[in-house]
């Protein structure tokens, strides 16, 4: 039964699965498979993820919600086109100054 939901980055999911894996006395094949998969795609360390997440929230860009922040952290875009793809299909597009602020913030936290 699902009790609650919230958006997590791949790095945060990796930390959660590592804790589950360590706490479990039995070998959990699915947890290990998922953990190995996530490790291939996680680009940032946990402390950098927390720092970048806070920095993106502090930009006070209304269009940045928890879902888009998680995607930005997972993908770590370097180019405006890459960032625009995250927001493709959203009701509002990012302004050029917002794109610049986000990309500068990502670059500082790499």
Q: What is the pLDDT of residues 36-85, one digit of tens each?
A: 888 888 877 888 999 999 999 999 999 999 999 999 999 999 999 999 99
Q: How many structural domains compose the chain?
A: 2
Torsion angles phi and psi, residue 49, rounded to 5: -60, -50
In whole angstroms, give the CA distance from residue 105 to residue 18. Answer: 28
Cα separation values, 72 from 6, 23, 52, Å: 16, 30, 10
One domain for residues 37 and 77? no
Q: What is the pLDDT of residue 39?
A: 85
Q: Would 26 be classed as within a structural domain?
A: yes
| Contact status, residue 56 vs residue 105, Cβ threshold 8 Å | yes
> Could you report the per-residue pLDDT of 17-30, keeping only the tens digit for each?
888 877 665 567 78
Q: For residue 23, what are the domain limits?
A: 10-41
Q: Could you tell me if residue 14 is inside a domain?
A: yes
Among residues 9, 12, 18, the alpha carbon closest in space to that of 36 is found at 18
Where does residue 89 fall: left (phi above 0), alpha (psi -120 to 50 degrees), or beta otherwise? Answer: left
């Amino acid at each position: 039964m699902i009790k609650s939901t919230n958006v997590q980055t791949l790095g945060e999911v990796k930390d959660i699965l590592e804790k589950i894996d360590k706490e479990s006395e039995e070998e959990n094949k699915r947890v290990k498979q998922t953990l190995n998969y996530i490790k291939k795609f996680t680009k940032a360390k946990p402390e950098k993820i927390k720092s970048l997440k806070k920095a993106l929230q502090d930009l006070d860009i209304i269009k940045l919600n928890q879902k888009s922040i998680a995607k930005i952290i997972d993908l770590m875009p370097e180019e405006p086109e890459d960032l625009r793809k995250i927001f493709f299909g959203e009701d509002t597009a990012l302004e050029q100054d917002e794109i610049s602020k986000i990309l500068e913030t990502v670059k500082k936290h790499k």
